[in-house]
Amino acid sequence: MIARFRPYTLNFKRASGTSRGVLHTKDTYLIEIESNGQFGYGEAALFKGLSVDDVPEYESMLQWACDHIDEDPGLLLKQLVKFPSIQFGLETALRSLSQDNPFVLYPSDFTSSSDAIPINGLVWMGDFNFMRCQIKEKIEQGFTCVKMKIGAIDFNQELKLIADIRNEFSSTDMELRVDANGAFGPKEALEKLKRLSEFDIHSIEQPIKPRQWESMAELCQQSPLPIALDEELIGVFKEKEKERLLSAINPQYIILKPALVGGFSGSENWISTAEDKGIKWWITSALESNLGLNAIAQWTYSLNTKVTQGLGTGGLFTNNIKSPLLVKNGNLHYQSHMDWKFKF
């Protein structure tokens, strides 16, 4: 087998705000594996500023992985445990190589277009009017689950936005999720969660910054609002450490981004550990190109979960890879009659 990679920069249609700053571009890496005239494709979806493997030696490690592609896949992926986005890219590319169609990794009713995946509509941070406009767009587009990123503007204004939604849509008509990305301080977080809980919020992601297990455990115990761990899972590699984290904090949910937590095998390990403790979960993409999003969506469907997922960010970019993926009426579809327009 021969493996190679190349960098690819995705350009946002409009600047997208998070509590970590405003994003204009997203750098990623595409992988191609060739064997006996067949090809497999993957994406090493590095997320600069968030991925644990955002280190200076990243490209040299990716090259090392390509150079050792003929090694036993299980052993190779274990050697890359501290580079979860490379694990994700290689795992995807190897599975792609093994299929008749390199873009259909998990054949299913989803890839045959007879079923779709319910997803949330994502509202990015910005000023009041910008966020309000996005909320209106998501509702008009048929989403029945909206996720708001909060923590960038005045908290009272964010509550007003949420109140506006609830005045028009009850919790049975519209599921609301919020994502603080660690924006709250530990001392103020509980009071803010109490105020948010007045609006029938489904859950809040990562209210305080990660690595504050004691404070997060107290929040999960006292909060009237279900808490989902997200960034908290990044950089936790060992199975015993995963179990220790979930036992110590005992959240209501965990959210899994395969490119950040060790690909599909790493995510499945988190899922089994969480389910043993009665903790629920869902899957979220992390600004991958359509190549990575496609793999995540197909794998997610294979898990037979009916929970609304956090997929479908492909429409954010001006230069995304043309694919059969389509977001319509709050669902992610795979249009099997359409072809991929992709050349490595």
Catalytic residue (one of 26, 138, 149, 209): 149
Q: Strand pairing partners for 149?
A: 179
Residue appearing with tokens 């996005």: 134
21 bridge partner residues: 18
CA torsion angle 77 78 79 81 (round to 10): 90
The residue from 26, 138, 147, 257 that is catalytic is 257
Alpha-carbon span 83 to 47, nearest angstrom: 11
Task: List the beta bridge partners of residue 256.
Answer: 283
Closest CA to 284 of 117, 139, 95, 49: 117
Residue 149 is a catalytic residue:
yes
Angle at 293 between CA 111 and CA 228, to 5 degrees: 110
With contact defined as beta carbons under 8 Å apart, do 37 and 95 qualify? no
d(CA 143, CA 231): 25
- Provide the β-strand partners of residue 11: 25
* Own/partner long-range contacts of 154-158 (Cβ < 8 Å, ≥24 apart): 155/192, 155/195, 157/128, 158/131
> Could you tell me how far CA 47 lies from the centroid of its own chain?
11
The DSSP bridge partners found for residue 25 are 11
Length of the chain (residues): 344
For the range 67-72, what are the long-range contacts, defined as Cβ-Cβ under 8 Å and sequence gap of 24 or more? 67/3, 69/1, 69/2, 69/3, 69/33, 70/1
Distance CA(189)–CA(176), nearest Å, equals 19
Contact 94, 76 (CB under 8 A): no
Residues noted as catalytic = 149, 257
